[in-house]
Amino acid sequence: MEIQIVGALQPETEAIIYLFRQSDDLGDRLNIFSNTVFLKEDFKAEAKQVVTIYENGRKVYLVGLGKTPKEADFIKTLRSFFYKQKRNLPNVIAIDLQTSGIENEWVEVAVNGCILGDYDLDLYKTKKKEGLTIFDKAAKLQIVVDSDAVESARQQAQRGEAIAQTQIRIMDLMNAPSNRKSPQSLAEWAVESGEKYGYSVTVWDEKQCEEEGLKALLAVSLGSKNPPRFILLEYKHPQATEKIGLVGKGVTFDTGGISLKQSTNMHYMKSDMGGAAAVLGTIEAAAKLQLPVHLIGAIPATENSIDGLATKPGDVVGSYSGKTIEIIDTDAEGRVILADALSYLVRTAKPDAMIDLATLTGSCIATLGYSAAGLFTNNEQLAKDLYDSGQQTGEKLWRLPLWDDYKEELTSDVADVKNFHGKPFAGAIVAAKFLEVFAEEHPRWAHLDIAGTAFADSEFGTMKSASAYGVRLLLRWLQGKGG
């Protein structure tokens, strides 16, 4: 499907989509259509509401955005519409933002939502759905904007499409089951992406991890036949003014180890590399868009499996930092592998700012549900900037404390620190305090607990699936740095 930016409706257009806010002037805007009286009764522009009519020999879709739509509302509405209608849409369809009264600034997110509607969860089904979709055909999607804004809108559209294509790749990666995804396959994904989009990728195998002293990562991997990988990525634009470190938890499957999880939702643990996915997607998109930033990524990748060699509760393991960790709960493995990555990045890359993302704790889900990720940082400006980016993109964050009141929960009798406090409260906070130890007093570090947001309900399937959470959030934050 080709996306075209035009300054007026074209004669060949077969169907038109109009987007409407649920506003006081909705009735006036509907006056352009025939049968206005009936339309005003039936169409209230509620979020995702769709009414179909025919005007001047064309099929017309009236799509509601709700009262005060933000970026996420545009994306979800158009994603849902195109996903549900993609087998029925004609070859030439237009989204008329001009007549709808939608400002040109929404072109990027509108295109992003449209492209995401192409997503398909049928990754491994042997029988595919019959018939071509609008995305498979030599079709055209025309975005109608003000005639004097065609060029700027074209740039926005290219950006929205580029980000969406990376999000789709990330969603495929996260939705892959563990027998189709391993630490090595994460590394191969990164290498392929780096070669295609022009950024460097270095992968350490098990031997190199041992030589470099990544003892915490190695300890978590002991129960798996698939050896760990430590993936380092670097994208540097010549106009970059500061270095940003990104760390992503890359557990390709998490059984809980000896502290075995309950079976009820264990199949979702293929998503426990959501932090790694966010880092991979952000760096790939930044490279594609040639953002003027310098990014250093570190992904500790492993499985957390169970066998006779697996690390046991009560074991004391080392770490890259030199600190020892008492393993109270082997299901608190994410923070253990992140410990090595954080210390490594601080000491070797010396980033100006550093953010880690991880599907870390059920406690964060209990606190914030599935609508927001937890934000932990002691840097006020970083907290504000990340929060604002989340509000703009809809990938929301809510700040939780990093007070030293919780520090004693990490006290171990036999090691420098323990990985779990064993109490049914403040789990997300204590996990963040653990990571803080290995962030080594970095003045601009933030931890994002994305356990409730990386895998979500959507129109794509009957169960939870990947959301690509974090990619648009981080890109917007980077945009504030000149990107």
Mind telling me the catalytic residues? 261, 335
Per-residue tokens: 21: 């806010």
Q: Under 8 Å CB-to-CB from 393, ≥6 apart: which residues?
A: 71, 72, 472, 473, 476
Q: How many CA atoms lie within 13 A of 297 on its CB side?
A: 34
Q: How many Å separate Cα 200 from the centre of its chain?
A: 21
The amino acid at residue 29 is R
Q: What Cα–Cα distance (Å) separates residue 165 from each residue in 105, 168, 442?
A: 20, 5, 34
Are residues 187 and 273 in contact, defined by beta-carbon separation less than 8 angstroms? no
Closest CA to 423 of 335, 333, 332, 316: 332
Q: What Cα–Cα distance (Å) separates residue 70 from each residue in 76, 393, 396, 439?
A: 10, 8, 12, 34
Write down the residue that tokens 């509601």 correspond to. Answer: 64
Handedness of CA 147, 148, 151, 154 (dihedral sign): negative
Write down the residue that tokens 């979709």 correspond to. Answer: 133
Task: Work out the end-to-end distance of the chain between its first and last CA atoms, rounded to an integer number of angstroms.
Answer: 28
Residue 28 in marked binding region:
no
Strands 140-144 and 2-6: parallel
Residue 331 in marked binding region:
yes
Cα separation of 151 and 7, whole Å? Answer: 10
Dihedral in degrees, nearest 10, Cα atoms 399, 382, 469, 410:
-50
Residue 249 in marked binding region:
yes
List, in sequence order, the alpha helices (H) in 290-369. Answer: 334-344, 362-368
Residue 128 in marked binding region:
no
Closest CA to 279 of 182, 160, 181, 166: 166
What percent of the chain is helix, strand and coil (3-state, nearest 5)?
Answer: 40, 20, 40
Give the residue numbers of the binding site. Answer: 249, 254, 272, 331, 333
Q: What are the binding residues for Mn(2+)? A: 249, 254, 272, 331, 333
